[in-house]
Amino acid sequence: QVQLVESGGGLVKPGGSLRLSCAASGFGFSDYYMSWIRQAPGKGLEWVSYIGSFGSSVDYADSVKGRFTISRDNAKKSMYLQMNSLRAEDTAVYYCARGRYSSYWGQGTLVTVSS
Amino acid sequence: EIVLMQSPGTLSLSPGERATLSCRASQSISSSDFAWHQQKPGQAPRLLIYDTSSRATGIPDRFSGSGSGTDFTLTISRLEPEDFAVYYCQQYDGSPFTFGQGTRLEIK
């Protein structure tokens, strides 16, 4: 069955960096766009970024553009989100999801930006 | 950026009743690239509807989606106790992909 497992979250100081990973299994990873979506505590869903099947197509929400970088390794069936210059408002659960319409979601990883 | 506004913010209904949730886009969505997701407390969201009206795998037929242009609707024909949750609409017609702010469906 389809599984998406995020890792790499944690507590980081403002201005710091983190790298999130999403390990996929149970489907042809290289056949699908992949997305990162986040949810701040008690808030709604915010789309963060997507990456095309072979990494040539990427886009970002304005709120993270220039600070976050999405990438993927199809051989490892994994997707990544490099997050730099983190701010308090980046505090959220980060979900990876399959496809443009998020047909499957991981369980999420919590990122807390605080001094 | 396409902004999605969901209404109502909270919907209070009883099991067995019909629920109608709305989502209005700030500009026309030219294709059918529209989805609905359900989220229960402490859980990741789950896809219900994609391409405006197609049910995702394993979703009961009491859930249906419709709409076009700027107005989209999720209908739950007869509410079951497990349907009380938060529902989000999403467009993936134009980047950035965006979500609505959510509708909380609560037991009356």
Using the predicted structure, report yes or no on whether residue B19 has a pLDDT greater than 90.
Answer: yes
**Chain A hits for B46, Cβ within 8 Å:** 105
Question: What does the pLDDT read at residue A1?
Answer: 94
The answer to whether residues B99 and A45 touch, using CB atoms and an 8 Å cutoff, is yes
Q: Does A65 touch chain B (CB under 8 A)?
A: no
Q: Find all residues with CB under 8 Å of A20, minimum gap 6, and list them.
A: A6, A7, A8, A9, A36, A80, A81, A83, A94, A96, A109, A111
Q: Calculate the average pLDDT of chain A.
A: 96
Segment B52-65 mean pLDDT:
96
Query: Is the pLDDT assigned to residue B45 strictly greater than 80?
Result: yes
pLDDT-derived band at B94, boundaries 50, 70, 90: confident
Across chain B, mean pLDDT equals 96
Name the band, by pLDDT with cuts 50, 70 and 90, for residue B30.
confident
Q: What are the residues facing B65 on neighbouring strands?
A: B74
Report yes or no: B72 and B25 within 8 Å, Cβ to Cβ: yes
Q: How far, in Å, CA of B33 to CA of A82, rounded?
A: 28
Angle at A60 between CA B5 and CA B97, to 5 degrees: 30
> CB of A62 within 8 Å of any CB in chain B?
yes
- Bridge pairing between strands B103-107 and B10-13: parallel
Q: What is the pLDDT of residue B95?
A: 85
Strands (E), chain A: 3-7, 10-12, 18-25, 34-39, 45-51, 58-60, 68-73, 78-83, 92-98, 104-105, 109-113
Q: Which of A113, A109, A114 is nearest to A95 (CA)?
A: A109
Percent of chain A with pLDDT over 70: 100
Question: Helix or strand or coil: residue B6?
Answer: strand
pLDDT at B57: 94
Q: What pLDDT does residue A56 have?
A: 87
pLDDT at A76 over 90: yes
Three-class SS state of A75: helix
Q: Which of residues 33-52 of A touch B (CB under 8 A)?
A: 35, 37, 44-47, 50
pLDDT of residue A60: 95
Question: Is B53 an 8 Å CB contact of chain A?
Answer: no
Which pLDDT value is given to residue B105?
97
Q: What is the mean pLDDT of residues B70-96?
A: 95
Region at A108 (left for phi over 0; alpha for psi -120 to 50; beta for the rest):
left
Band (pLDDT 50/70/90 cuts) for residue A59 is very high
Average pLDDT over residues A15-43: 97
Q: Is the pLDDT of residue B23 over 80?
A: yes
Chain A environment of B90 (Cβ under 8 Å): 45, 47, 101-102
Phi, psi of A89 (to 5 degrees): -75, -5
Cβ contact, residue pair B97, A104, below 8 Å: no
Asked if residues B84 and B106 have their Cβ atoms less than 8 Å apart, the reply is yes
Q: Which candidate from A46, A100, A105 shows the least CB-CB separation from B45? A: A105
Q: For residue A9, give the H/E element and its range.
A: none
Contact partners, residue A54, CB within 8 Å, separation at least 6 = A30, A74
